[in-house]
Structures are given as structure tokens and as C-alpha cells.
Amino acid sequence: MKVIIPVAGFGTRLRPHTLTKAKVLMNVAGKPMISHIVGQIVKDKLATEIIVITGFLGEDIEKYLKNNYKFKFTFIKQEEPLGLGHAIYTAKKYLSPQLKEDLLIILGDTLFDVNLKDLCKSKHSRISVKEVDDPRRFGVVEKDAKGFVTRLVEKPSSPAISKSKEAIVGIYLIKNGKLLFDSLEYIIKNNLRTKGEFQLTDALERMLRKGEKMNTYPVKGWLDCGKPETILQTNRYLLNKSRKKYKIKTVEFINPVHIGKNVDLQNCTIGPNVTIDDGCKIQNSKIKNSIIHSNCEIIDSILEESLIGDNCIIKNQKGKFNIGDFSIASK
């Protein structure tokens, strides 16, 4: 099996952080977002190769993965941001002409609490789904009585378009790679766009019309990392699965927390739900429900619900902060 991970998005809702850092390299519960995905693939021995579709700041993603995993990666740059379907299509020439291997597509900017080994045990192509209250933000699936997908709808604008509440959450097992890429090629050559982009959902819909059988796989843990508030929620969720404990004199830890390497903590209360990356110095401060990236200095401050970039300095501050790399907040 080969795995395709598209990570070409700009992450605009996470600015200012994503102006200088690729979205998937943001730290969540102690490691970059993409590491949670790649680490599981490597650990479960699911694939012979991981194909990473990059865009803005893609060289940083490539450097991180090559330095941290001894695995076969192929990096492809999507030159134009023409949609997820177009991003996947860029991988065609790097795959074998016969496309006989199964393909697993995992969106790189969303995290999942899912058993990938179990998901891949299917004779048919498979789409991961989760029931949601408001399906208008997502692609949805409709199924027949036997559980096979009959229709895919990209972001239905009203219940009249689709009554389904099973949202497509971003993991796709493809048994017929040739038909997938033929379908992607068809929508691109015929300029068939949805909301201005070439959508993977539209190619999958064409596969259905060509006779491809697809079923669904329910995912309980669908962890959004698209906005500051949701990345903090995901950090909280993942930290609560950890059993790490820390003991440092003059520091009160309210678990769960994650503390990186070479972190200097003095006279602090840390937690709950706090990730502190490597090389930080924090003194006389209280921090909860926050992510602090590497090499920050926080002195005499009280922070909550905060997302702090690399190399920031915060002194004599109180409240909620969302600041990018090399920022200074000081009185």
C-alpha cells in the first residue's frame, strides 16, 4: 500500500502562525501535527511509501520528515492551489502505471483517533465518516440498505440537497487507483469545479457512477486543527490520552501537560491542558489550556487559552494570546 498525504494548504485561519510555519508542523500535544499521522503509519507498518503533496513552506515539512523518520517518502509540490482533487492528481506520474496497490489518502491538516489497520481491512474502497449536526461545512455520503455508498455531495447548502449527516472526515481507502486517477483527470480536463476548485469528492462520485463499490468506516475521534480554538481542543483531547507526569521543585503541575526538552520552569503553575515545546524559559507564571512553541520566555504572566509561536517573549501579561513567531508582549 502507498499512502498519500496532502499538506499543500496555506492554513489561513491559523495566521499569524502559518505565515512562518507550515500548519502541519504546529505542535499539538508534544509533536508536530503531521508526526501524529506519519508516526502511526510507520508504527503500524501500513505502507511501503508515503507520498506527501506540499505547497507553501513545503521544504520545511520535507526537512522535518526526512530528519525524523527512516522511511521512503516522495515529496511533490502542488504548484497551484486548485483544490484537493488537483493535489491528489499531481501524484499520478509518481505511481506505478498499473496502480495495482491499494492507496490510502489521509488529509494532513486534521488528526484522527482511529484504528487505521482496521479501516484498511475492506474488500471495497472505503470512506471514513462521522455524523455531524450541521453537514453544510463538509462533504457527505448517502448509503443504501446494505451500507454501500450511493452518492457523495460536497458541502450541501440545504437539507433539500441531501438529508445525510454522515460527513466525510478525510481518510479514504482506494482499491481502484487507476479509476481514481482517471476520474480526477476527467474532472480536471473538463474543468468541472465545485466552489472554484477540483474536488476529490467529485472524482469519487464519478467512480461510483463507473461502478466502484464503496462502504464507510465510522470515526469517533475527528480532531479539527483548523483554527486556534480547535487546535487547543485537539491538544486537550490528545493530552488526556497521555499518562506523562512531571516533578520539578517550585512548580505545580495540573495534569495533563506535556513539557519538552531543556525547559526551565521556576515558581509556576502549569496546566491543565498545556503543551510547552523545547527550550522555553518560564518563571513566576501560570499557564493553562495553551500551547507554547519552542524557545519562548514567559515571565510574571498568567496565560489561558493561548497559542504562542516560537521565540516569543511575554512579560507581565495576563489573558488570552494568539501571537506568531518572534513576537514580544511586555509591560
For cell 526526512, name the residue: 66
pLDDT over 70 (residue 162): no
Indicate whether 118 belongs to any domain: yes
* 38, 136: one domain: yes
User: What phi and psi values does residue 86 have, to the nearest 5 degrees?
Assistant: -65, -40
As beta bridge partners, residue 264 has: 281
- Report the percentage of the chain scoring pLDDT > 70: 95
pLDDT at 280: 97
Residue 162, burial from CB neighbour count under 10 angstroms (0-12, 13-18, 19+): buried
Question: Which of the listed residues 203, 233, 263 is the one where a domain comes to its end?
Answer: 233
pLDDT over 90 (residue 323): yes
- Report the percentage of the chain scoring pLDDT > 90: 63
User: 238-257: per-residue pLDDT in tens?
Assistant: 999 888 899 999 999 999 99
More confident residue, 306 or 241: 306
pLDDT at 95: 82
User: 208-229: per-residue pLDDT in tens?
Assistant: 999 999 999 998 888 878 789 8
pLDDT at 136: 65
DSSP string, 29-97: TTEEHHHHHHHHHHHTT--SEEEEEE-TTHHHHHHHHHHH--S-EEEEE-SS---HHHHHHTTGGGS-T
Indicate whether 195 belongs to any domain: yes
**Residue 64 CB contacts under 8 Å (≥ 6 apart), including other chains:** 25, 32, 34, 35
Indicate whether 177 belongs to any domain: yes
Question: Which of the listed residues 204, 233, 262 is the one where a domain comes to its end?
Answer: 233
Q: 135, 116, 146: which is closest to 217 by C-alpha? A: 116
Contact predicate 30/256, CB 8 Å: no
Provide the 8-state DSSP code for 161: T
* 75, 212: one domain: yes
As beta bridge partners, residue 252 has: 269
Q: What is the mean pLDDT of the chain?
A: 89
Using alpha carbons, list the distances in angstroms from residue 158 to 15, 35, 138, 155, 215.
30, 37, 12, 9, 24
Q: Is the dihedral of CA 39, 44, 48, 50 positive or negative?
A: negative
Indicate whether 161 belongs to any domain: yes
How many beta carbons lie within 10 A of that of residue 209, not counting itself?
9
Indicate whether 43 belongs to any domain: yes
Count the domains in the chain.
2
More confident residue, 141 or 37: 37
Quote the Cα angle for 204-12-307, to 5°.
120
For cell 507564571, name the residue: 285
Domain, as residue range, for 269: 248-330
User: 64-103: per-residue pLDDT in tens?
Assistant: 999 999 999 999 999 888 999 999 999 988 886 667 788 9
